[in-house]
Amino acid sequence: MKTVRQLLQAKGGQIYAIAPDARVFDALKLMAEKNVGALVVTEGGRLAGIISERDYARKVILLSKSLHDIAVREIMTEKVLTVQPGQTVEECMALMTEKRIRHLPVTTVSA
């Protein structure tokens, strides 16, 4: 069974992050530049949450708020499920299916 570590070695382990006080506009711009659907939100070097295109669609557009005026912290998901590099891809897929999530950050310690 392939592990997350093996998958990341083949794919690359680049991490794209943003601060919770950044504007949602800046988060979306970074996602577009890096061609990713989510960013980890870090504060003081620690995982504070995750922001995804889905968060934007459901929490900004549907609430008729301006992406220029709202901070990432206002729409990010704070309770982030994470996995370890040694976990299998199958374990990750099962977790994503069970919890109905699309993004699963990999950490070396539990968040």
Distance CA 20, CA 78 (A): 10
Give me the sheet containing 38-43, strands edge to edge: 17-18, 38-43, 46-52
Q: What is the pTM of this model?
A: 0.85
pLDDT of residue 64: 78
% pLDDT > 90, the chain: 61
In the three-class reduction of DSSP (H, G, I as helix; E, B as strand; rest coil), residue 94 is classed as: helix
What's the rounded mean pLDDT across residues 2-13?
84
pLDDT of residue 41: 97
